[in-house]
Structure formats: C-alpha cells, structure tokens
Amino acid sequence: MSRVLLLLGYLCLHTAFAQPGDDAAIVAKSDSVVELSSGGTPALPDWRVRRQVLLKQILGPQAVLEVLPGLAFDESRNFPSPWGRGPTGVAKRFGNQYGQFVIGEFIEFGVSSLHNEDPRYFRLGDGTAWRRTRHVFKNTFFAHHADGSPGMTLAAGRILGVYGAWGVATRWNPPAQQTVGQFLLYGTVGMLTKTGGNVIREFWPDVKRRFSHKSRQD
C-alpha cells in the first residue's frame, strides 16, 4: 500500500514540474483553461476535453496544491494523532489527502457532466487585479454552461465534489473527525483551496511573462 501511495505522489510531482518552460503556451493549448482575452467562441467541451481536465487535475499541479500542503500541515501537528508520526503516519496522511482529492474530482466529473457544467476555467487575462480576483471567485462557485448557452450556473459538481469527498473520508478518519462541524470546516477549506488554484490559473501566466521579460532585459 505504501508503495502505491509513493508512486502516486511521484506522479503528482513529476506531472507538476516536468512541464514545458513556456507557461503562456501551456495556457493557450490547455484543455482545462479557456482564454477569454483571446476573443472568439471556445469549442464546447466534449468527453475528450472532460477526460483531459480530469487527468490534469488528478495528476497535475492542482493535485500538488491540494495534497502536499495539507499533508505537511497534518504531519506537523500530528493530525489525526492516532495515526502517529514517521513513515506510517505520513503514508496514511498522504493516502487520506490524495484519496479525498481524487474522490472529489470524480464526483465533480460526474455531477458537472449531468448538470451541463463546463469543467474548464475561463481565464479573464486582462483588467484590474480586483476585477480579475472577483472573476476568480465567481468562476470557482459558478460554471459556464457546457452547451454554450449564455450565463452561468452553480458549480454543483465542484461544490459537491469538495464536500462529498470529505463526507466519504469520514468513513476512514478517526471518530473525532466524523462530525458536522468538521465536515463544514474542511469542506470550506477545500473550496478555498479550489479558489487558490484558480488564482494561479488567472495570474501565473502574467507573472511568468514578467519574469521572462525582465530576464531578457538583463
């Protein structure tokens, strides 16, 4: 079991960091991000796009963002304490964090498909920082319609995925974590983590271009 968990961890890190150097090109070609600033109407998400979004989530930077910080935080405070410290405790905590993450992504995949939600992030790409930050929050809790109809709908897949994953995780978590309060707390933390991932999608290409431009000037 521990070998499987270590392999999954390696895949997360390898996919996150073994990417081409030009992040702007990644965003432009990514199946999981739509560039609104490029103009035009994006192609509707078919099953290939949905599959690619799912794979990018569970084996890409989003997995690192959502799994490793929680793993490090839980290990630092020995949480849950019945799991102890050391390799065994780390393996259990990693399995817990990554298991929740994958379950949540599969729930989101299924619900978003049934609920006519576009699973991609629609990057604004220009405007003030405040406007783009509001856009990030809106595009975390709401989703574009997968059939291209105007307006947005509640991102039921993402929300149910985050809270549902914690609900499933209570089946293997210690009894002290199987409470409504813990369910609401960690579900909310999970949604904030999703928001953080969208912040990176929105602003990181700008940061990358700025540093690349500065390095060329030097």
Residue 213: both structure tokens together: 């431009």
In a domain, 86, yes or no: yes
H/E/C letters for each residue in the chain? CHHHHHHHHHHHHHHHHCCCCCHHHHHHHCCCEEEHHHCCCCCCCCHHHHHHHHHHHHHCHHHHHHHHHHHHHHHHCCCCHHHCCHHHHHHHHHHHHHHHHHHHHHHHHHHHHHCCECCCEEECCCCCHHHHHHHHHHHHHEEEECCCCCCEEECHHHHHHHHHHHHHHCCCCCHHHCCHHHHHHHHHHHHHHHHHHHHHHHHHHHHHHHHHHHHHHC
pLDDT at residue 74, rounded to an integer: 87
Q: Are 71 and 97 in contact (CB under 8 A)?
A: yes
Mean pLDDT of 134-156: 96
pLDDT at residue 39, rounded to an integer: 76
In a domain, 63, yes or no: yes
pLDDT at residue 177, rounded to an integer: 72
In a domain, 117, yes or no: yes
Burial of 183 (0-12, 13-18, 19+ CB in 10 A): middle
In a domain, 206, yes or no: yes
Specify which residues 123 forms β-bridges with.
35
Q: Are strands 33-35 and 121-123 parallel, antiparallel or unpaired?
A: parallel
What is the residue whose two structure tokens read 């609401």? 184
Mean pLDDT of 208-214: 76
Domain assignment of residue 67, given as a range: 2-213
For the stretch 80-105, pLDDT in tens is 888 888 899 999 999 988 998 999 99
Question: Does the bond joining 42 to the residue before it have cis omega, within 30 degrees of 0?
Answer: no
For the stretch 193-203, pLDDT in tens is 899 999 999 99
Structurally, the chain folds into a number of domains equal to: 1
For the stretch 36-89, pLDDT in tens is 888 777 889 999 999 999 999 999 888 888 898 888 888 998 888 888 888 999
In a domain, 218, yes or no: no
In a domain, 129, yes or no: yes
Which is more confident, 164 or 28? 164
Give me the percent of the chain exceeding a pLDDT of 70. 83
In a domain, 6, yes or no: yes
- In angstroms, the CA 150 to CA 66 distance is 31
